Amino acid sequence: MANLTRLPMPIQESYDWQYEGACRDVDVEQFFSPERERGAKRDAREAAAKSYCARCPVVDACLQHALSVREPYGVWGGMTVREREELMAGRSVGETAA
């Protein structure tokens, strides 16, 4: 069973920022990888998703949400799962663990 204690309270104000997202009317599949997607195809999809984030007025709120709940899937706040993990670990994005 999932640990839901890190999620914000289920009140509307906790999620209002999502109504302002540049991704609001975009197919959700743009931001989440199909199970077997790899390589150039995945890179291209993630770059396209990040292009929405680059012009999004709530990108910071989105990233903070993803970091605070440790979102394990998708592009949130202009970052992939791996990039968020690296950020949380205190490494520069693209830096490998020692």
Handedness of CA 46, 49, 53, 54 (dihedral sign): positive
Sequence ranges of the binding site: 23, 53, 56, 62
Its pTM surpasses 0.85 = no
Task: Report how far apart, in Å, the C-alpha atoms of 81 and of each of 16, 33, 71 are.
Answer: 23, 11, 8
Hey, where are the domains in the chain?
Answer: 27-88
98 residues of the chain, pLDDT tens digit each: 566 666 666 666 667 889 999 999 999 999 998 889 999 999 999 999 999 999 999 999 999 999 988 999 999 999 999 999 999 998 766 665 55
Provide the token pair at 89. 């670990």
Sequence ranges of the binding site for [4Fe-4S] cluster: 23, 53, 56, 62
